[in-house]
Amino acid sequence: MSGVDERGSQVAVPTLRADGKVVVITGASRGLGRAMALGFAEGGADVVVSSRRLAGCEAVADEVRALGRKALAVACHVGDWNQCADLVTATVAEFGRIDVLVNNAGIAPVPPSLSGITEELYAKTMDVNFKGPLRLIGLAAEHMGPGSAVINISSVASIRPSPFTVVYAAAKAAQNALTVAAARELGPRDIRVNGIICGTFHTDSFHRSAPTEEARENLAKNLSLGRIGYPEEIVGTALYLASDASSYLTGQLVRLDGGGS
Ligand SMILES: NC(=O)c1ccc[n+]([C@@H]2O[C@H](COP(=O)([O-])OP(=O)(O)OC[C@H]3O[C@@H](n4cnc5c(N)ncnc54)[C@H](OP(=O)(O)O)[C@@H]3O)[C@@H](O)[C@H]2O)c1
């Protein structure tokens, strides 16, 4: 579709479709990552489905293929420098390029107290939430052309840290800084980098942290929409940030949190 702007020139009305794009998603075997894998496939993209465990990736890859798109399942622990390189190499060998990278894999282990934070918990949390996205952006950008996009999946913890989540919050805050810095470096090549600051969504990790209905309802009542989000509700924002509909938007952190305070 197209229209005419105030100067009389033709302007294209963008769509959120992702037809023919090659999309790499980490942590795509379940939760928000799986929802985005299926959403991008519905939107016409081919999807590289990655997480540590290949079996889970294969299952989602089969779901992508059932939607009529190509899929590649790749096992990758994003905290491992070399496995990140292997993920990009495997993607380029199969599809020849990367159009969209979604840095979605994340973990939020909860220490008992500040003094109870172990070096292992610190390293693991920083590696998965920050080192992996940092490494993958650098690698993927080598295979991205103009119009490509990176989406970093962040958390409200990064801007509103709470007790017991300080390492996770700091790792996601570092990821936010990466979003802004990478947007500045890659902008001249027309590669856009944005983040989604997620509130709470019904996924395995959220249900582990709020195991009872009562705990979830307590969280929900502080939100403007009064409910926890469903994984499918990240798809529209992800498609928007990946598409030409957001062609002038980069280095931004979009809050997707049901109107959290
Ligand atoms: N759900 C929420 O309420 C919420 C809120 C704020 C932010 N977020 C963020 O949203 C993202 C997705 O969260 P989610 O709730 O969908 O998580 P989830 O349901 O726990 O799923 C996590 C995914 O990441 C993969 N994964 C875990 N560690 C990995 C590693 N080291 N390397 C590669 N993949 C790994 C898991 O598969 P394997 O086990 O096979 O590796 C799985 O596919 C995370 O970055 C999280 O911080 C979520």
* 215-244: average pLDDT: 97
We report the CATH number of the domain holding residue 97 as 3.40.50.720
- The count of domains in the chain is 1
Cβ–ligand 1 distance for 128 under 6 Å, the answer yes
- Ligand 1 atom closest to the Cα of residue 29 is 43
Cβ–ligand 1 distance for 133 under 6 Å, the answer no
CA of 12 to the centre of ligand 1 (A): 36
Question: Token pair of 95, please?
Answer: 């599809």
Q: Does some domain include residue 85?
A: yes
Cβ–ligand 1 distance for 158 under 6 Å, the answer no
Q: Does some domain include residue 106?
A: yes
Per-residue pLDDT at 205 exceeds 80: yes
- Ligand 1 atom closest to the Cα of residue 103 is 45
Q: Does some domain include residue 122?
A: yes
Q: Does some domain include residue 135?
A: yes
- Range of 240's domain? 20-256
CA of 187 to the centre of ligand 1 (A): 28
What are 39-62's pLDDT values in tens digits? 999 999 999 999 999 999 999 999
Cα–Cα distance measured from residue 134 to residue 158, given in angstroms and rounded to the nearest whole number: 16
Q: Does some domain include residue 112?
A: yes
Helices (H), 67-212: 81-95, 119-126, 132-141, 166-186, 204-209
Confidence (pLDDT) at 107: 97
Cβ–ligand 1 distance for 203 under 6 Å, the answer yes
Q: Does some domain include residue 203?
A: yes
Confidence (pLDDT) at 2: 52
Q: Sign of torsion, CA 255 34 173 156?
A: positive
Cβ–ligand 1 distance for 184 under 6 Å, the answer no
Which active-site residues does the annotation give?
168
Confidence (pLDDT) at 260: 87
- List, in order, residues 6 or more apart from 3 with CB less than 8 Å away: 10, 11, 13
* 195-209: average pLDDT: 95
Q: Does some domain include residue 14?
A: no
CA of 108 to the centre of ligand 1 (A): 9
pTM for the structure as a whole:
0.96
CA of 206 to the centre of ligand 1 (A): 10
- Ligand 1 atom closest to the Cα of residue 156 is 6
Q: Does some domain include residue 120?
A: yes
> What is the rounded average pLDDT for all residues in the chain?
96
Cα–Cα distance measured from residue 215 to residue 200, given in angstroms and rounded to the nearest whole number: 12
* Residue 1 pLDDT level (bands cut at 50, 70, 90): very low
- Ligand 1 atom closest to the Cα of residue 229 is 3
CA of 163 to the centre of ligand 1 (A): 20
What are 162-183's pLDDT values in tens digits? 888 999 999 999 999 999 999 9
* 225-243: average pLDDT: 98
How large is the C-alpha radius of gyration of the chain? 18
